[in-house]
Amino acid sequence: MLFPSVTCPKMLLYLSGQSPVISYKGCAAQLFFYHLLGSTEGCLYSVMAYDRYVAICHPLRYMLIMKRGVCVSLVTIACSVGFLHATILTSFTFHLVYCASNQVDYFFCDLPAVLPLACSDSTLAQKVGSINVGILALMFVFSISFSYAHIGIAILRIRSAEGRQKAFSTCSAHLTAILCAYGPVIIIYLQRTPNPLLSALMQILNNIVSPMLNALIYSLRNKEVKRSLRRVFHSLAEVFRN
């Protein structure tokens, strides 16, 4: 809910025909909170992967390992990492001098859109941004891959089909959410030659579509929601047949 609220309200104002102007401080705040909430979300996905790992690989010790204090500590670390990441990027970006064009050719303030407007050398800020985002992405991918590698081994050791299906259903929603969140980010920030149209489409997918799908993805584990969706699809099928 918080992540799309950084960019969507301003974008809706643009689309409704109101002034597209954003102040210098507003632009800095938008960039800061975008990376703060985005990187915190990435950390929380890693925490959730660890939670699944403990639930499947050590079910009898789950309540002992994932105590309230541990959960609070993990969330605090995730928020701290996000704050540090956003502070570094915002500091390097807005430490530059902006004296030329002040038109952000994008629907919100982000590094690829803001850095080209600087009239001082932005090479260092670009390198720091790429390294910072790259290191965080590698950390997230490594931690999630480590957890799911152990989960996969544990699932293969389960003999009953019912047990495997239950273990898989525990992870399916989380894996789907990860693909929806990380897919667009990888495409946006790892392009050698940025494509403005592709980047804009991926940002819309990342900022609006993925957060909107999260509620549906996680609720699909609920049996009542599944039954309701089956009824809807069955009704639609009947309508098309007639």
pLDDT digits (tens, 9 = 90+) for 33-88: 999 998 998 899 899 899 988 988 888 898 999 999 999 999 999 999 999 999 99
Q: Is the pTM of this model over 0.95?
A: no
**8 A C-beta contact, residue 109 and residue 22:** yes
DSSP 220: T
Q: Torsion over CA of 55, 61, 66 and 68, rounded to 10 degrees?
A: 130
Distance (Å, whole) CA 202 – CA 186: 10
Distance (Å, whole) CA 131 – CA 111: 13
Instruction: Out of 100-104, 170-174, 234-238, pick the least confident.
Output: 100-104
The closest alpha carbon to 45, from 177, 192, 159, 238, belongs to 177
Instruction: Out of 145-149, 152-156, 174-178, pick the least confident.
Output: 174-178
